[in-house]
Structure 1
């Protein structure tokens, strides 16, 4: 999702405010001030987001933020040891099935209660992913969703990409 002033945020999160501080015309360069919450737009949630004492972003190995993934279709078998991306809504009733296949990360249209449970089990969650309709069905793709390295960060906006062969 593009990050821009006034964009929708989760109720209670800080509003997004982006101000131009320097311009080419006045200063010879561009510079913007960015103000937003750590869970703005397309973002990844660290385990500490919903579990006190759990690992923060800067404590999670980079290898956990990317890997092979599948767009999961309703009623389809879940692939093992891959990232799972859900276009259709999924909630905590699917937790056991998801845990059984040991995903590296889960993203897409997941409920808050499922997100909390996945984070407890040290499975990263990605929220507000867009353009999921462009992902292949039944075929793996490489997913990358690196966070900013925020010291003690509970989450971070990401530039999530899928490499489709």
Structure 2
């Protein structure tokens, strides 16, 4: 039996977004009553919504051209689909507090404790329980994150991507900008704003799927990220 775990936030008007990014607006563009020629109806049934949002809304993946201007040719539509369809593992860092850093030594130790290995092409998910603890609170922007040294270490492992529950892969003002630049230089990416990572802990390897929209020249895209476990009973 196949088990699919949804790793993606809902998208809705007014949801939290990273500082300075476009706010999410969601309005009814057409109704069924309008299409059916019904006037003065006491009900409004949405037929089409109008969405206004940035590429980096909710659970999303960054394109390499988001990392720094020198990677401007590497937009989301040019990145190989194999980067978004991989094997995956999830590592437990739920003990981490606000704005704490995660080092490569800690990642290695988490792998040993959970008896998993990071293989070439993997997506490595980092569970901090930050989503369940702080989503839509004042502490939501202040999550833990990896160091630039840990990002380079993951790059040397030749992963496809890593993913975090937080709004940024590094800690803002400390490691976040350099983590982005390292991803660009080393040719791998990351997912942000993931959920349900606690459901992956202790279950070993899984199929990870996080396909982006094919946005011409895009710097990223919302995704419907999932973990797939085969032959579960």
Please, what TM-score do these two structures have when normalized by structure 2?
A: 0.66
1:114 is paired with a residue whose SS is helix
Structure whose alpha-carbon radius of gyration is higher: 2
| Between 34-43 and 24-33, the greater mean CA deviation after superposition | 24-33
Compute the RMSD of aligned alpha carbons: 1.7
5+ residue gaps, structure 1, are: none
SS at match of 1:26: helix
After superposition, residues 68-79 of structure 1 pair within 5 angstroms as 68-73=87-92, 74=106, 75-77=109-111, 78-79=117-118
Match for residue 49 of structure 2?
32
Q: CA deviation at 1:138?
A: 5.9
Alignment of 1:70-149 (within 5 A): 70-73=89-92, 74=106, 75-77=109-111, 78-81=117-120, 82-88=122-128, 89-108=145-164, 109=166, 110-111=169-170, 112=176, 113-137=178-202, 139-149=204-214
Aligned residues: 165
Residue 21 of structure 2 is matched in structure 1 by 13
Residue number in structure 2 paired with 1:48: 65
Q: Any idea what SS the aligned residue of 1:30 has?
A: strand
Give the conservation status (yes or no) of the 8 Å contact 1:51–1:120: no
- The 3-state SS of whatever aligns with 2:12 is coil
Q: Structure 1 115/53 Cα, relative in aligned 2: closer, same or farther at 3 Å?
A: closer
Q: Kindly indicate whether the alpha-carbon contact (under 8 Å) linking 1:119 and 1:125 is maintained by their aligned counterparts in 2.
A: no
What is the alpha-carbon distance in structure 2 between the residues aligned to residue 119 and residue 65 of structure 1? 16
Q: Which has the higher contact order (CA 8 A, sep 6+)?
A: 2
In the alignment, the residues of structure 2 paired with residue 6 and residue 104 of structure 1 have an alpha-carbon distance, to the nearest angstrom, of 31
Answer 1 or 2: which has greater helix percent.
2
Deviation at 1:135, TM superposition (A): 0.8
**Structure 1 pair 115–122 and aligned structure 2 pair: CA distance change class (3 A):** same
Deviation of 1:120 (Å): 2.4
* CA distance, structure 2, for counterparts of residue 5 and residue 92 of structure 1: 33
2:216, 2:194 → 1: CA distance? 24
